[in-house]
Amino acid sequence: MEPVPCTPPSQDYSPVDDLWFDDGNVVIAAKSRLFRVHRSILSLQSSVFRDILSLPASEEQDMYEGHPLIELPDDGEEVEHFLKAIYLPQYFPSAKGPNDLPFEAVVGALRLAHKYDVPFLRRRALRVFSAEYILDIDKIETMPTPWWRRSDPHREDDVTWSKFVTEILLAREVGALWVLPQLLFEASYEHVERLVSSQLSQADVNNCYAGFQKVGEAKLLGTLLFQELVNAGCNYKCFQNPNGIMFALEAAGKLSDPIQLFSRDIEQRTRVAVLCAKCKERIIERYRQWRKDFWTSLPGQYSLPDCKELKEMRRKALEVFFTCRGLIDSCIWTPLA
């Protein structure tokens, strides 16, 4: 029998121990990382790999230690997360769970599950990714604290901003439009130089400019809201004493800060303010309405479908379904806000 031809690799590769199986029969290369895996597993999970691997072998086929070598143009770290998620069920949760899953793992698994068509992993990764963003502002109080990002839109450091851009680009790439109202809203506050020099599309940069104008309108509405509350008065004349006036001024000022959409600060301050119970109730009710109206109008501001349609898109993307093989994925997950 003729020896199997072996084409020397074009660069220095290093095998990844966890994904180097002795009985693997295909070698995947991504940048400098090498993975010896199984044709059957890749073909079972991914229609794209199934097509690639079903092509008849050509004489030009690169080989590595006697096995076909497939070079992917993707980032090596992303491919490692992607393959680990396919091979190791415990590595990638079927719902948002352990907080120690690295951001890069979510990005890598989601991007490549979408690109190479791995439905179960795309759905899992979308669930974890989507759990960090709100669509229903009324449920904000039940939202978990985001673990890979802050809700604070005033991002100053380059690392956070680059992560933020990655999230927007990823959402566009995989069609997860339902995370974009929050992301674009926060991006609208970024410095113009950063927006312009980022990898964001021109359309999204324009969206951010338009969003910033929208926020200006919200500030005005927030101020008017407190004026209205003050003018409404009450039997106890809450807003005719220095405490009440000071509270109203501070609260109106706070409404000019977009982070109030993600914070309960105004509600908490209202509860402890020197005001009568009726005024407190009125302020919290009107404030919640203001927040809801503003939030509901956001998707349109960014040329996105409305909240109802976005929720429906999310439901379809995340839903678990049955096939002749049985339940494709675990359905233990909590509804998203």
Residues that bind Zn ion (CB under 5 A): 234, 236, 238, 276, 279
- For 16, residues 6+ apart whose C-beta sits below 8 A from its C-beta are 33, 34, 35, 80
**Sheet strands side by side (includes 26-30):** 14-20, 33-37, 26-30, 67-72, 63-64
Write down the least CB distance from residue 221 to Zn ion, Å: 22
CB of 119 to Zn ion, least distance (A): 57
SS3 for 17-79 is EEEECCCCCEEEEECCEEEEECHHHHHHHCHHHHHHHHCCCCCCCCEECCEEEEEECCCHHHH
Closer to Zn ion by Cβ: residue 148 or 236: 236
Which of residues 10 and 241 has its CB atom nearest to Zn ion in the complex?
241
The Cα–Cα gap between 110 and 130 comes to 11
Nearest CB to Zn ion, comparing residues 140 and 276? 276
Nearer to Zn ion, 127 or 282 (CB): 282
Q: What is the length of the chain?
A: 337
User: By CB neighbour count within 10 A (0-12 exposed, 13-18 middle, 19+ buried), where does 57 fall?
Assistant: exposed
Q: How far is the CB of 273 from Zn ion (least distance, A)?
A: 10
* Nearer residue to Zn ion within complex by CB, 185 or 247: 247
Q: How far is the CB of 291 from Zn ion (least distance, A)?
A: 22
- Give which of 165, 225, 172 is closest to 199, Cα–Cα: 165
- Nearer to Zn ion by C-beta: 271 or 308? 271
Min. distance of Cβ 292 from Zn ion in angstroms? 23
CA distance 187 to 42: 37
Smallest distance from the beta carbon of 222 to Zn ion, in angstroms? 20
